[in-house]
């Protein structure tokens, strides 16, 4: 088994460094909320700055790796088997509105598989991480998916399509089918934290469509290592390619799949 621990150390340091800037900028957002235009320009600069910080840190440590980040052009590395997949700020709408629920997501892919992931929520100071074969962790404590089996007791997360997204009709059907059968559905606005929370057993499952690889790459390995079952919305494994996913504890996943999708 390959050892990805050294990479996890590099990823964690990069996330913490970018978090310092984002935390400061988030403090400024409140002062800027009076001017909507001002605040969105400011947040977009904060976002780009965070990606630059992460990129500098990761590239300094692993110059040969490729790069896929939300805020810059993808780069093929001199080592074509390894790349970083990074969302410097997941939950931008929350950030923009002064809502303290957003995260940094950093994944490492090796031969097409995500093998290490870090999701850091700087406001709550919660750092979720995993490497393939090494279990999932939050701030040094082992985390696992929930053990609930009965759909009626389960709390789920999802993302509701907005803007130019096409799947609002399907989501509406999903909610009509699922809501009467479960304990609740949340839409907190950060796919990375939705995945981290399934891994930590806070949610029993999560599904969403029309996502990008950087929204979910780190979360995939964290949920898997926490014992969760991870598929695309048809039960297959092409999650990053399709951009849709369903994750849940292994007892609940088939029930969720039967109810939505």
Sequence-separated (6 or more) residues with CB below 8 Å from residue 32 = 38, 39, 42
**Binding to Ca ion by residue 121, rule CB under 5 A?**
no
121 binds, among ligand IPD, Ca ion, none (CB under 5 to 8 A by kind): none
**Binding to Ca ion by residue 57, rule CB under 5 A?**
no
Q: Which stretch binds ligand IPD (CB under 6 A): 20-28, 111-119, 208-216, 238-246?
A: 208-216
The candidate with the shortest Cα–Cα distance to 98, out of 48, 26, 194, is 26
Ramachandran assignment for 218, one of left (phi > 0), alpha (psi -120 to 50 degrees), beta (any other): alpha
Residue recorded with tokens 């074969």 = 133
Interstrand relation of 126-131 and 113-121 (parallel, antiparallel or unpaired): antiparallel
Smallest gap from Cβ 186 to ligand IPD, in A, equals 11
**Binding to ligand IPD by residue 189, rule CB under 6 A?**
yes
Q: Which two tokens stand for residue 139?
A: 């701030």
Number of residues located near Ca ion, criterion CB under 5 A: 5
Q: Which stretch binds ligand IPD (CB under 6 A): 18-26, 133-141, 183-191, 231-239?
A: 183-191
Number of residues located near ligand IPD, criterion CB under 6 A: 12
**Binding to ligand IPD by residue 191, rule CB under 6 A?**
yes
**Binding to ligand IPD by residue 249, rule CB under 6 A?**
no
**Binding to Ca ion by residue 70, rule CB under 5 A?**
yes
Question: Which listed residue (123, 201, 211, 243) binds ligand IPD by CB under 6 A?
Answer: 211
Outline where the chain has alpha helix (H).
Answer: 5-32, 36-61, 92-96, 168-178, 191-199, 213-225, 239-242, 253-259
The candidate with the shortest Cα–Cα distance to 181, out of 165, 160, 205, is 205
Alpha-carbon gap, residue 259 to 49, rounded angstroms = 41
Q: Which two tokens stand for residue 154?
A: 């389960």
**How many CA within 13 A on the CB side of residue 258?**
7
Residues 98-117 that bind ligand IPD (CB under 6 A): none
Q: Which two tokens stand for residue 16?
A: 């913490």
**Binding to ligand IPD by residue 71, rule CB under 6 A?**
no
240 binds, among Ca ion, ligand IPD, none (CB under 5 to 8 A by kind): none
Nearer to ligand IPD, 129 or 190 (CB): 190
Residues 187-206 that bind Ca ion (CB under 5 A): none
**Binding to Ca ion by residue 87, rule CB under 5 A?**
yes
Strand ranges (DSSP E) for the chain? 66-69, 82-90, 103-110, 113-121, 126-131, 136-138, 141-143, 155-158, 184-186, 205-208, 229-231, 245-248
**Binding to ligand IPD by residue 157, rule CB under 6 A?**
no
211 binds, among Ca ion, ligand IPD, none (CB under 5 to 8 A by kind): ligand IPD
User: Are the beta carbons of 87 and 93 closer than 8 angstroms?
Assistant: no
Residues 212-231 that bind ligand IPD (CB under 6 A): 215
Residue recorded with tokens 């499952």 = 205
- CB-based closest residue to ligand IPD: 159
Binding site for Ca ion (CB under 5 A): 70, 87, 89-90, 215
Kindly list the residues in this chain that would bind ligand IPD in the complex (CB under 6 A): 87, 89-92, 159, 189-191, 208, 211, 215
């Amino acid at each position: 088994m390959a050892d990805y621990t050294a990479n996890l150390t590099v990823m964690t340091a990069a996330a913490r460094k970018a978090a310092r800037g984002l935390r400061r900028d988030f403090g400024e957002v409140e002062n800027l909320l009076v001017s909507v235009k001002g605040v969105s320009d400011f947040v977009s600069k904060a976002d780009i700055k965070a990606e630059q910080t992460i990129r500098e840190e990761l590239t300094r440590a692993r110059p040969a790796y490729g790069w896929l980040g939300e805020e810059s052009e993808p780069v093929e590395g001199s080592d074509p088997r390894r790349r970083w997949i990074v969302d410097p700020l997941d939950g931008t709408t929350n950030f923009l509105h002064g809502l303290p629920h957003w995260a940094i997501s950093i994944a490492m892919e090796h031969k097409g598989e995500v093998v290490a992931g870090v999701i850091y929520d700087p406001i709550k100071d919660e750092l979720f991480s995993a490497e393939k074969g090494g279990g999932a962790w939050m701030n040094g404590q082992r985390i696992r998916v929930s053990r609930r089996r009965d759909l009626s007791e389960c709390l789920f997360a999802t993302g509701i399509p907005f803007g130019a997204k096409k799947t609002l009709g399907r989501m509406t059907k999903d909610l009509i089918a699922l809501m009467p059968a479960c304990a609740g559905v949340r839409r907190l606005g950060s796919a990375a934290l939705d995945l981290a929370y399934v891994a930590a057993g806070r949610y029993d499952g999560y599904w969403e469509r029309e996502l990008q690889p950087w929204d979910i790459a780190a979360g995939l390995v964290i949920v898997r290592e926490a014992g969760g079952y991870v598929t695309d919305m048809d039960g297959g494994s092409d999650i990053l390619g399709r951009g849709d996913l369903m994750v849940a504890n292994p007892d609940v996943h088939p029930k969720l799949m039967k109810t939505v999708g």
